[in-house]
């Protein structure tokens, strides 16, 4: 699904990570482990298109995505669940999930997706009308992951 080859990323032309290669296959979970400041978040920002590669290639579902803008990547199925969650605190659980589903045009697909994440995280269904900011940290993390899915 995802292939990263010799990726170089950085900020303002100052490289931060060099020669990173990895592959993620369907139904596989891949973790990147490293100390603070090692460049984990930078790699994820590169994958989700927030910053653009200085060298190397990123291939997603058979397509080179080096220059694909972030909003297009979301439509292709790439979602970045941010470390700090960044939920819309005043909005309800359901409204946050609907924002995650804004790229889905078909109402039936949206409804099926919602059911899937409610199956995964029943807590969210129980509290779908509750404001996100009143959730505990762990519950907010569930919501952030569910919104990405
Ligand atoms: N927006 C930014 N501008 C400049 N440097 C940054 C920026 N974000 C991160 N960095 C630098 O890039 C390096 C890697 O950071 P980061 O990817 O956040 O590491 P990690 O997620 O592994 O803790 C660090 O040296 C950090 O200071
Ligand atoms: Mg980080």
Q: Is there a domain that residue 83 lies in?
A: no
Q: Is there a domain that residue 82 lies in?
A: no
Q: Are residues 65 and 98 in the same domain?
A: no
| Whether the CB of 42 sits within 6 Å of ligand 1 | yes
Exposed / middle / buried, residue 83 (Cβ in 10 Å: 0-12, 13-18, 19+) = exposed
Atom of ligand 1 nearest to the CA of 44: 17
Summary mean pLDDT of the chain: 95
Q: Are residues 98 and 72 in the same domain?
A: no
Q: Is there a domain that residue 114 lies in?
A: yes
| Domains in the chain, number | 2
pLDDT tens for residues 86-134? 999 999 999 999 999 999 989 999 999 999 999 999 999 999 999 999 9
Helix 137-148 vs helix 93-100: angle between axes, to the nearest 10 degrees?
30
| Whether the CB of 102 sits within 6 Å of ligand 1 | no
Q: In terms of DSSP bridges, do strands 2-11 and 14-24 run parallel, antiparallel, or are they unpaired?
A: antiparallel
In a mutational test of the pocket of ligand 1, which residue from 42, 51, 82 has the highest number of ligand atoms less than 8 Å from its CB? 42
Domain that includes residue 8, residue range: 2-76
Q: Are residues 68 and 13 in the same domain?
A: yes
Q: Ligand 2 centre and the CA of 46: distance in Å? A: 13
Neighbour count for residue 46 (Cβ, 10 Å): 25
Q: Is there a domain that residue 87 lies in?
A: no
């Amino acid at each position: 699904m995802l292939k990263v080859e010799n990726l170089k990323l950085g900020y303002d032309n100052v490289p931060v990570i060099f020669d990173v290669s990895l592959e993620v296959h369907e139904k596989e979970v891949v973790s990147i482990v490293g100390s603070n400041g090692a460049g984990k978040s930078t790699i994820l920002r590169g994958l989700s298109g927030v910053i653009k590669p200085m060298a190397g290639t990123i291939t997603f579902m058979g397509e080179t995505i080096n220059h694909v803008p972030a909003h297009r990547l979301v439509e292709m199925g790439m979602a970045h669940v941010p470390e700090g969650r960044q939920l819309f605190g005043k909005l309800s659980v359901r409204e946050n999930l609907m924002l995650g589903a804004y790229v889905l045009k078909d109402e039936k697909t949206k409804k099926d997706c919602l059911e899937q994440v409610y199956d995964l995280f029943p807590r969210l269904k129980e509290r779908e009308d509750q404001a996100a900011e009143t959730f505990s940290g762990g519950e907010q993390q569930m919501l952030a992951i569910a919104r990405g899915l």
